[in-house]
Amino acid sequence: MSDAPVDLMDLAAFERGTDGELFATLRDRDPLHWNDEPDGPGFWSATRYEDVKAVASDPELFTVVDGTQIQSRRAEGEGARSIHHVDPPEHGPLRKIAAAHIRPTRIRDLEPDIVSVIDQLLDETQDRGSVDFVDSIAAKLPLVMIGRLLGAPLEDCPHLLRWTNQMASEDPDYSEGPETAVKARDEVFDYFRALEDQRRAHPTGDLVSVLAAAEIDGVPLSRGYLDAYYLIVMVAGNETTRNLLTGGVAALAENPQWWDYMRENPDQIRVVVEEMVRWVTPVISMRRTATRETEMHGRLIKPGDKVVMWFASANRDERAFERPDQFIGDRFPNEHLGFGWGAHGCLGANLARLEARLFFERIIQRGLTIDVDAAPSRLRSNFFRGVKRLPTTIRSVDA
């Protein structure tokens, strides 16, 4: 590792998949690292497991009000803060609205639908030669299910995918710059406002209907709350599962013994999926802002300073995990931070876990395996651990 200064705003390492080397250096030599920021004030980086967990657990000291991404891009409509940008106690009632709709018992009811979508996707790709796993499966499965939860018609799912890609990063394959995300956001708002009008007139059991009718202390949700809620559920719901599935398949290509393990121990697939979450860490980082002066590792964090929690680094911390740079499919316990931590932990974690578990279960039950034909093309982002393309062959084990 070079002694050159570590710059976590340089996205080249994330695109190459070599950022783990940078984080290992920071954990050992500079666990609270100051990073300059183009067109911004700079930020502190927390890279050790216990430090990341501590920041995520203390909303009074580290607030979300000023944004959750390194560079402020709050997803807001007409001024109200989104679920991501309010602290407890205001956060709890707002989160509860959607949490009740995607609680574990409700999610389990989706199993037949999820399996049906998985089987359809596998029917379309099995024994068809090389296919792009992202485009053919990993992007489609969560997209269809989030669309159903929100109430978006199937024919509109390609629009949801395009908007998600355009807002998830400024990767040149999807974006021409910040204006691309702004335009996509406005289109999302227009789309869901129209869908919301339909649901107000004719309510159904979908999440848009639930949100349109929701109240907090007898007051309906404001326009800004609603706009931001739709956007966050759409983007986070798609990106998390897509990145988990794709990263999981890539990890198994490098560690094929875990394919055999899942075939021999299908009841342990959920444990292997949990290691995929740790290994991939679908959301690389989240940011907080210090509300008062505090010290960490002998360095002074001032009020208003940005503090970034690097979940990807925490999940490879030697202080928290034995052999963290090895994919160990039966790792237990596995108290990773792959879905965040604290009050703002991933709202859709149960759905992402279920979709991934059912996908690999169906692969095993159908007697299939997945060969990775070429290296993944990674998203140019330090926010989502995305893969844009992953050439694969889905075939019968005996073929």
**DSSP string covering 313-357, please?**
HHTT-TTTSSSTTS--TT-SS----BTB-GGGS-TTHHHHHHHHH
Higher pLDDT: 168 or 364? It is 364
Would you call 47 helix, strand, or coil by DSSP?
coil
Please tell me the predicted confidence (pLDDT) of residue 73.
60
Confidence grade of residue 352 (pLDDT, cut at 50, 70, 90):
very high
DSSP 196-226: HHHHHHS--SSHHHHHHH-EETTEEPPHHHH
Angle (nearest 5°) at CA 67 between 24 and 161:
85
pLDDT in tens, 102-113: 888 888 889 999
Please tell me the predicted confidence (pLDDT) of residue 236.
82
Domain boundaries defined on the chain: 12-75+82-132+240-396
State yes or no: pLDDT of 206 exceeds 50. Answer: yes
Burial of 179 (0-12, 13-18, 19+ CB in 10 A): exposed
Mean pLDDT of 160-180: 89
How far is the CA of 204 from the CAs of 208, 210, 370, in angstroms?
A: 9, 8, 38
Q: How far apart are CA 35 and CA 47, in angstroms?
A: 12
Q: How far apart are CA 302 and CA 33, in angstroms?
A: 14
Mean pLDDT of 114-142: 97
Please tell me the predicted confidence (pLDDT) of residue 334.
98
DSSP 49-79: HHHHHHHHT-TTTEESTT-SSSS-----SSS
Q: Which helix (H) or strand (E) holds 253?
A: helix 223-254
Say what percent of the chain tops pLDDT 90. Answer: 80
* 8 A C-beta contact, residue 364 and residue 344: no
State yes or no: pLDDT of 134 exceeds 60. Answer: yes
Among 77-91, 194-208, 246-260, 293-307, whose mean pLDDT is lowest? 77-91
Q: Nearest-CA neighbor of 244 among 148, 348, 119, 318? A: 348
Confidence grade of residue 81 (pLDDT, cut at 50, 70, 90):
low
Q: State which of 156-165, 215-224, 253-262 shows the largest mean pLDDT.
A: 253-262
Please tell me the predicted confidence (pLDDT) of residue 368.
98
pLDDT in tens, 219-249: 999 998 899 899 888 888 888 999 999 999 9
Angle (nearest 5°) at CA 103 between 242 and 57:
80
Confidence grade of residue 101 (pLDDT, cut at 50, 70, 90):
confident
Q: Which tokens sit at 395?
A: 């075939």
Please tell me the predicted confidence (pLDDT) of residue 106.
83
Confidence grade of residue 99 (pLDDT, cut at 50, 70, 90):
confident
Mean pLDDT of 247-253: 98
pLDDT in tens, 53-72: 999 999 999 999 999 999 87
Mean pLDDT of 312-320: 98
Mean pLDDT of 258-265: 98
Chain-wide mean pLDDT for the chain? 93
Q: Nearest-CA neighbor of 359 among 172, 114, 165, 176? A: 114
Return the number of other C-beta atoms located less than 10 Å from residue 41's C-beta: 9
Superfamily of the domain at 12-75+82-132+240-396: Cytochrome P450 (1.10.630.10)
Tell me the angle at which helices 111-125 and 349-365 cross, rounded to the nearest 10 degrees: 50
Mean pLDDT of 351-374: 97
Mean pLDDT of 183-203: 94
State yes or no: pLDDT of 75 exceeds 50. Answer: no
Please tell me the predicted confidence (pLDDT) of residue 170.
85
